[in-house]
Amino acid sequence: MTGERISARDIQRALIWRISNGVYHPGDTLPSVRKLAEEFGANRNTVNKACQELRKLGILEMRADRRSPVVTRAAATAAPLDLVFQQVRDVIWQAMLAGVTRQQLLAEVTALIEKVYGESELRIRFLECNPHDSATLSRDLSRLTGVQIEAGLLDELQQDVDAFAQSSDLIVTTFHHLAEVLQTLAQYRDRVVGVDTRPSSETLLRIARLTKPRIGLVCTLPDTARSLKYVILSYQPGAQVATALIDAPDDVRHLAETCDHLLVTYNCVLALAQLTDRRPDVVIEFRIDDQSVEYLRERIREARLAKAATHRQRSVS
């Protein structure tokens, strides 16, 4: 099957997947037939046929003021997986009528699923400056995207840039390190994805509840200190915020002795405990911004389609 040109049914399934995952919302106009044909590596007649089938299912519609099909409101309530199951049910009946046994069909379909999904499996790495952040954020991204994302360190880039980049389909890092990674991977910029991290809602609530004016902040990087200081002042506009980096022990001790409230990023908690007996009033936890997660999902989708198309072209040739 993967050795054939992409079919209208393949495109139909792909469009259903995009709608179900929020790439296209009800009321959105699809890209032009030409654009979709280029994305899927198919001809325009095949794309038109796929769109016609989706119109029959009530998922797409044509409007007088739009040149391309529009996602219907019904698509928001329709379960795309149910549509897939309907198609699978039709195939099963066809196999029964052709005399294919249950065991044979199950074995063939299972093997085909493994082959097709395997062709578009991606290796995605998340890079951070320390093991704790890398492990925590990569685990969060894996959960939020439904895709396995490996934890890694920025130091790995210094070993063999070409080998590292070529063995990764996507390389993800935070905005704090994005410029550094892009500079190192200048020839592989198209594989790099930046995600924004922000203090969690619980962290912001604790900051908002602080009652005294002198606030001390301990973290690892100057950029982090500047951005967090801005966040703190947005919730405590009358506060005096002083900062210290964890690798400056004397500054940290002085800050702990003189501030009313001590705030520390979660990756500095253990080091802080070795420098002072002062316990932090707020441990700053981070979460990945929702828009960054959506953007990463879209990049993963694009990378999968590109990888599957490459395998398809190779099998044809």
Q: pTM for this one?
A: 0.61
CATH top class, domain 201-284: alpha beta
Give the right CATH number for 8-78 from 3.40.50.800, 1.10.10.10, 3.20.20.70, 3.40.190.10: 1.10.10.10
Q: Residue 308 has what pLDDT?
A: 72
pLDDT tier for residue 316 given thresholds of 50, 70 and 90: low
Model pLDDT for residues 11-35, shown as the tens digit of each residue: 888 888 788 777 888 888 898 889 9
Rounded-to-integer distance, Cα 101 and Cα 106, Å: 9
Summarize pLDDT for 104-160 with one digit per residue, the tens: 999 998 888 877 666 568 999 999 988 888 998 999 999 999 899 999 999 999 889
Instruction: Count Cβ atoms within 10 A of the Cβ of residue 252 and give its class: 0-12 exposed, 13-18 middle, 19 or more buried.
Output: buried
pLDDT for the residue 296 = 94
Q: Name the band, by pLDDT with cuts 50, 70 and 90, for residue 315.
A: low
| Per-residue pLDDT tens over the stretch 34-85 | 999 888 888 999 999 989 888 887 788 888 777 778 887 655 555 556 667 7
- One of 3.30.70, 3.40.50, 2.60.40, 3.40.120 is the CATH number of 124-198+290-296, namely 3.40.50
Every domain of the chain and the residues it spans: 8-78, 124-198+290-296, 201-284
Residue 155, token pair as written in the block: 């130091």
H runs (alpha helix) in the chain: 8-20, 33-40, 44-56, 74-77, 80-97, 102-119, 131-145, 161-166, 175-184, 201-208, 222-235, 249-258, 269-275, 290-316
DSSP class of residue 189 equals G
Place of tokens 């519609």: 61
CATH fold match for the domains 124-198+290-296 and 201-284 = yes
> Is residue 313 over pLDDT 70?
no
